[in-house]
């Protein structure tokens, strides 16, 4: 089970930038109200995500059978999905598959090579087409709205190639669609072409969708244990609904971070000490960033709130960002992700008799990375910099499910504490419209005029 240590968020340890038990006590009514807002709305509106842990076993059985079937026929499994449709699959697959999965020889891989294509750089598309064999490739096209330009474009390009290479009939079997059934362009195409379609629940937003078919379909194909993943998520849900703040990990950390935001900490660092967990920071960046950054609160008051996630990785970023965390402005709260048991073992046996390195002899990378993490936490504490640490027993499906669900509850609580709409993203609409305008889409002529009315001065160009 996930463990939390928030000693170094407290004044008695870090001084001016920490908090006291009394402050927390005083805020208890506010905290309890945030808890109720989230728990009482379980399964309602945009909070359908909380119910995904109750996906019936029968559905999971069907999914894993579907996955096994595809897996048999597939050497290259490609996800086309961006934002919430890519980050969950990426975070989980990176954590749970072999670290160099795609480079393993076929006899050592249970699952096909995989590609989470969450961008449209033409070099990247070319790069993909250079290494996959269309004859043995399957494509999971994921977009909740069914309208995402990037994802549709990727699909159009590949579907044309598939038809050319395999014929229409076979090509149709290579596209697996995950979208909102009954709605949107991709659903219409899927119906017409006869693609296999998986639904995303209406009230499940992109960044809260990893336990829906958005994640489960690729995980099933990649032979990731979806049962344990969901069990882990369920364990986190149970913890997140506890009313005692001294037991509820998501609630206390949401509170401490929101309180830190009010205290000038506009940056939230997430620093896993684990390469497989690296993309948890990307998942978190979207979830925390997009959910909490809002121009107005629920009362229509202009707040421009939000906390900017910064992705870090231990020990790597000790040699890159820790100088900044130690000596820069007091504008950060750091969340460390620790792993108790790395499962792999990397012993250091022979130090070639170098006296300087005596301390490494007979030790292991496991011990070194753990010591580095504890040392960094200690050093930050000494500088009065707030941090808390979440510890996973191992990086396995249960723990990863638990961690992802924790992030979601933490975000939901923080949104409630901030009195904002956690589930919308109005700020991205303007860019979408301007894109359509620049692509000369019908109906966006006025927007194009507006864009073109901006006169750039050559004085400000070099």
Site string for its own copies, 193-232 (x = CB under 8 A): x------------x--------------------------
Residue 33 vs 343, nearer CB to its own copies: 343
User: What's the rounded Cα separation, in Å, for the pair 62 and 427?
Assistant: 38
Task: List all residues 6 or more positions away from 159 whose beta carbon is below 8 Å from its beta carbon.
Answer: 171, 175
Structure tokens at 193: 């072409």
Asked if residue 249 binds its own copies (CB under 8 A), the reply is yes
Stretch that binds its own copies, among 44-52, 175-183, 225-233, 307-315 (CB under 8 A): 307-315
Question: Hey, which residues between 72 and 91 contact its own copies (CB under 8 A)?
Answer: 82-84, 86-87
Residue 187 vs 219, nearer CB to its own copies: 187
What count of other Cβ atoms lies within 10 Å of the Cβ of residue 329? 10
CB 340 to its own copies: min, Å: 13
Stretch that binds its own copies, among 29-37, 48-56, 320-328, 397-405 (CB under 8 A): 320-328
Q: Which of 23, 59, 168, 188 binds its own copies (CB under 8 A)?
A: 188
Candidate list 432, 449, 450, 452, residue with the active-site label: 432
From the centroid of its chain, how far is CA 305? Answer: 21
Candidate list 48, 117, 290, 402, residue with the active-site label: 290
Q: How many Å is the maximal CA-CA distance in the chain?
A: 74
Asked if residue 293 binds its own copies (CB under 8 A), the reply is yes
Q: What are the CB-based long-range contacts (under 8 Å, 24+) for 21-29? A: 23/259, 24/245, 24/255, 27/255, 27/259, 28/245
Asked if residue 259 binds its own copies (CB under 8 A), the reply is no
Asked if residue 263 binds its own copies (CB under 8 A), the reply is no
What count of other Cβ atoms lies within 10 Å of the Cβ of residue 376? 23
- Residues 47, 203: contact at Cβ < 8 Å? yes
Stretch that binds its own copies, among 27-35, 50-58, 246-254, 402-410 (CB under 8 A): 246-254
Asked if residue 356 binds its own copies (CB under 8 A), the reply is yes
Structure tokens at 321: 């960002």
Q: Which of 266, 393, 419, 421 binds its own copies (CB under 8 A)?
A: 266
CB 19 to its own copies: min, Å: 10
Asked if residue 362 binds its own copies (CB under 8 A), the reply is no
CB 62 to its own copies: min, Å: 29
Question: Hey, which residues between 22 and 61 contact its own copies (CB under 8 A)?
Answer: none
Asked if residue 423 binds its own copies (CB under 8 A), the reply is no
Q: 64 by DSSP, 3-state: which?
A: helix
- Taking alpha carbons only, the member of 223, 78, 219 closest to residue 138 is 78
Question: Any idea which residue has 């017409």 for tokens?
Answer: 192
Distances (CA, A) of 286 to 433, 450, 454: 21, 29, 30
Asked if residue 262 binds its own copies (CB under 8 A), the reply is no
Using CB under 8 A as the binding criterion, the count of chain residues that bind its own copies stands at 159
The separation between the first and the last C-alpha atoms of the chain, rounded to the nearest angstrom, is 55
Candidate list 169, 302, 319, 442, residue with the active-site label: 319
User: What's the rounded Cα separation, in Å, for the pair 296 and 278?
Assistant: 32
User: What's the rounded Cα separation, in Å, for the pair 371 and 359?
Assistant: 12
Asked if residue 167 binds its own copies (CB under 8 A), the reply is no
Asked if residue 321 binds its own copies (CB under 8 A), the reply is yes
Q: Please indicate whether residue 319 is annotated as part of the active site.
A: yes
- Taking alpha carbons only, the member of 96, 76, 193, 83 closest to residue 142 is 83
Catalytic residues: 290, 319, 432
């Amino acid at each position: 089970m996930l463990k939390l240590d928030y000693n170094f968020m407290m004044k008695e340890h870090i001084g001016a930038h920490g908090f006291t038990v009394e402050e927390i006590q005083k805020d208890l009514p506010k905290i309890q109200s945030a808890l109720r807002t989230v728990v009482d709305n379980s399964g309602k509106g945009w909070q359908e995500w909380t119910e995904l842990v109750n996906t019936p076993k029968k559905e999971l059985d069907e999914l894993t059978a579907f996955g096994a079937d595809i897996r048999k026929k597939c050497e290259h499994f490609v996800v086309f999905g961006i934002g919430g449709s890519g980050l969950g699959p990426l975070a989980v697959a990176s954590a749970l598959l072999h670290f160099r999965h795609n480079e393993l020889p076929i006899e050592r891989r249970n699952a096909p090579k995989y590609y989470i294509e969450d961008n449209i750089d033409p070099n990247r598309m070319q790069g993909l087409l250079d290494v996959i064999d269309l004859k043995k490739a399957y494509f999971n096209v994921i977009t909740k709205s069914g309208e995402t330009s990037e994802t549709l474009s990727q699909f159009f390009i590949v579907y044309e190639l598939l038809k050319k290479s395999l014929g229409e009939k076979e090509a149709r079997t290579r596209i697996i669609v995950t979208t909102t059934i009954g709605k949107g362009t991709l659903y219409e195409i899927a119906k017409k072409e006869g693609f296999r379609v998986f639904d995303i629940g209406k009230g499940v937003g992109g960044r809260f969708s990893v336990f829906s078919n958005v994640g489960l379909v690729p995980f099933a194909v990649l032979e990731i244990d979806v049962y344990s993943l969901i069990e882990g998520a369920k364990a986190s849900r149970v913890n997140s609904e506890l009313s005692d703040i001294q037991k509820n990990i998501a609630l206390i950390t949401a509170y401490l971070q929101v309180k830190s935001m009010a205290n000038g900490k506009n940056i939230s660092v997430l620093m896993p000490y684990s390469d497989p967990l690296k993309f948890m920071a990307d998942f978190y960046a979207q979830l925390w960033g997009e959910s909490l950054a809002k121009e107005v609160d629920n009362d229509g008051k202009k707040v421009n709130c939000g906390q900017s996630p910064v992705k870090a990785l231990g020990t790597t970023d000790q040699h890159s960002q820790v100088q900044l965390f130690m000596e820069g402005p007091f504008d950060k709260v750091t969340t460390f992700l620790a792993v108790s048991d790395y499962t792999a073992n990397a012993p250091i046996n022979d130090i070639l008799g170098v006296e300087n390195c005596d301390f490494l002899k007979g030790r292991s990378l496991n011990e070194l990375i753990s010591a580095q993490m504890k040392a960094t936490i200690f050093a930050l504490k000494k500088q009065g910099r707030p941090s808390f640490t979440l510890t996973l027993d191992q990086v396995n499906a249960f723990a990863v499910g638990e961690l992802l669900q924790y992030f979601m509850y933490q975000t939901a609580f923080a949104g409630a504490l901030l009195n904002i709409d956690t589930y919308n993203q109005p700020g991205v609409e303007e860019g979408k419209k301007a894109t359509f305008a620049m692509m000369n889409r019908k109906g966006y002529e006025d927007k194009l005029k507006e864009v073109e009315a901006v006169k750039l001065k050559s004085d400000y160009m070099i």
